[in-house]
Amino acid sequence: MPKPFPSRLQALRLLPLLLLPGLLHAAAPKADEDMARIVVAQHDTLIDLGKKLLARPANWPRLQKLNRIADPLRLQPGSTLLIPAALLKAEPLQARLESVSGSVQGSTGVLAAGALLAADDSLTTGANSYAVVVLPDDSRYVVQPDSQIRVEQLQRLRGTNGQQSRVEIRQGRLENSVQPQRGPAARYEIRTPTALIGVRGTHFRAGYDGSTARVEVTEGVVASNRDTRLNAGQGAVVDAAGTRTASLLAAPVTTGIPALFERPLIRLPLPETAGAAAHRVIVAGSAGFNLPLAEVLATGREARIAGLPDGDYRVRLRAVSAEGLEGQDADAAFRLKARPEPPFASQPLPGGKVQGERVDFQWTEQPEAARYRIQIAGADGFARPLAQAEDLTGTRFSTSLPPGAYQWRVASTRADGDRGPWSDAVPFTLKPLQGPPEPPAVGDDSVAFAWPAEPGQRFEFVMARDLAFAQIVQTLEPGEPKLVLPKPAAGEYFVRVRATDPDGFVGQWSSPQRFVVEASRPWWLIGVLPLLLLIH
């Protein structure tokens, strides 16, 4: 009697026996092949595990061959099953937009914090805009301003914790903080048209400007295009000509950055950094450098930053090489206290001159100010003011000073007592009053005048018959501080003079001076007059 044809289950049990000789001689898995290690549970079979874990469940015989399993329906609980990562089923994952600043657009419109990103989603940042993207394994990348990226891949292999992430940079820059990538085929990759960047856990920056990719490693190790290894402190430029590596420029010196800024426009001094063609300047507030408040790429010795409210900040400097690689970071702290802003000086103006014994100070009205304070100092500066006043409710102040060189400044105070910074110092010169002409020397035919003067001055001289100088007799502009005039007719006269300095400053009129020209008598009256007196 012929034996019955074996059932399907019996056939499956017999199959390993038929294949056993070949399996015993199967090559061991390659050392560099990505393998998942699955712990077998009670009642697991290769067929069930194939359905659960494999992209193609029918590939379970490959697992049997690889692991030299005699019976696919009888697995040893607690044993380890090796599965090539290439056979595992991929589960799609989503990244989370942790925070945004400015204008951030996604594939379907404006993106806000909390939005989810999956494979094929795009993200675009505007000017001065940032987006922080967090992956399921807590790796994250910060999308910099004017950047466009696409999530090419974001998945996990079934039965493992190995995350696979690949981001395409179409334009702009990313700053990356990658958790250690563990498990089979776990990877974090960034792709540009000229470079493929892969890491297993590191801190690095990557960017693409339309023709050139750049990578800068600040911690860990990065592989660029699979054949270039970059350690911490190294960078690479990748373009059509190939890959060029270089050491990152040293961190700039920040000792020259002031701890306090008192103007709304921050003028940040930049150091001289060896090899630097520019400096990137990033200012952050309480949100930190993932969401900066301002960013400038400055090519000179100064970076200008506007629009920040008063407060405490941190600034980060990086030197940028001629090929565009950004170097090591250097951070510093500063405070901005620019408000309430000081008023504008109206009188005296910078470099101005005042003549007299008293000086009238005037300034504009500041809308935020309830009161003002003023200081006047000499050449030694404001450590020891010569005059000062607090709690001025108006916009004027007057004081007596001797002639000399001075400087003054003014500041605003809010109603609640909050004091703003001082204005810039306004230098001025206080000149003595113009000295009057000396008493004229009246001769037989002329009158001579002279007055005190300074080198280079020009003058205006006026002679009149009345103290009000309404009846002008003569107006002259002599080039020196003296004058000789023909002797005028008998009578009472008044003269005054004022000087114009070489820089155009016109001084005040001197005090009027009076002189009298006596009427002349005929010579023959000298002998006749006594006779006339005798006759009478």
pLDDT tens-digit map of 282-300: 999 999 999 999 999 999 9
Please give the average per-residue pLDDT across 330-359, as a whole number.
Answer: 95
Residue 95 pLDDT class (50, 70, 90 cuts) = very high
Please give the average per-residue pLDDT across 231-244, as a whole number.
Answer: 95
Supply the CATH classification number for the domain 35-86.
3.10.350.10
Q: What are the tens digits of pLDDT across the range 469-493?
A: 999 999 999 999 999 999 999 999 9
3-state helix, strand, coil in the chain (%, to 5): 10, 45, 45
Does pLDDT of 16 surpass 50?
no
User: Cis (ω within 30 of 0) for the bond into 21?
Assistant: no
Q: What are the tens digits of pLDDT across the range 491-527?
A: 999 999 999 999 898 999 999 999 999 987 655 555 5
pLDDT-above-70 percentage for the chain: 91
Does pLDDT of 412 surpass 90?
yes
Q: What are the tens digits of pLDDT across the range 152-203?
A: 999 999 988 889 999 999 999 999 999 998 777 789 999 999 999 999 889 9
Return the domain boundaries, the chain: 35-86, 91-240, 260-336, 345-431, 441-517
Residue 23's pLDDT is 27
> Residue 463 phi/psi, 5° resolution?
-120, 130
Q: Which two tokens stand for residue 390?
A: 């607090």
Least confident of 1-10, 110-119, 481-490: 1-10
Does pLDDT of 361 surpass 70?
yes
Least confident of 19-23, 65-69, 456-460, 498-502: 19-23
Least confident of 277-286, 350-359, 527-536: 527-536
Residue 276's pLDDT is 98
Domain 91-240 CATH (choose: 3.40.50.720, 2.60.120.1440, 2.40.50.140, 3.90.230.10)? 2.60.120.1440
Rg for the chain, CA atoms, rounded: 45
Residue 31's pLDDT is 40
Residue 34 pLDDT class (50, 70, 90 cuts) = confident
Does pLDDT of 7 surpass 80?
no
Query: How many degrees, rounded to 5, is the angle at CA 14 between CA 11 and CA 20?
Result: 140
Intrachain domains 91-240 and 345-431 with the same fold: no
Residue 286's pLDDT is 95
Residue 522's pLDDT is 59
Strand, coil or helix: 86: helix
User: Cis (ω within 30 of 0) for the bond into 61?
Assistant: no
Task: Look up the CATH superfamily of 260-336.
Answer: Immunoglobulins (2.60.40.10)
Residue 455's pLDDT is 92
**Closest C-alpha among 347, 340, 327, 390 to residue 366:** 340
- Provide the residue type at 309 as one letter: P
Mean pLDDT of the chain: 90
Does pLDDT of 260 surpass 60?
yes
Residues 9 and 130: beta-carbon distance below 8 Å: no
Q: Which CATH class is domain 441-517?
A: mainly beta
Instruction: Return d(Cα 477, Cα 502) in angstroms, integer.
Output: 14
Classify domain 345-431 at the CATH topology level. Immunoglobulin-like (2.60.40)
List of residues 6+ apart from 231 with CB closer than 8 A: 217, 221
Cβ atoms < 10 Å from Cβ of 48? 16
**Closest C-alpha among 81, 80, 111 to residue 96:** 111
Does pLDDT of 529 surpass 60?
no
User: pTM here?
Assistant: 0.78
Residue 22's pLDDT is 27
pLDDT-above-90 percentage for the chain: 82
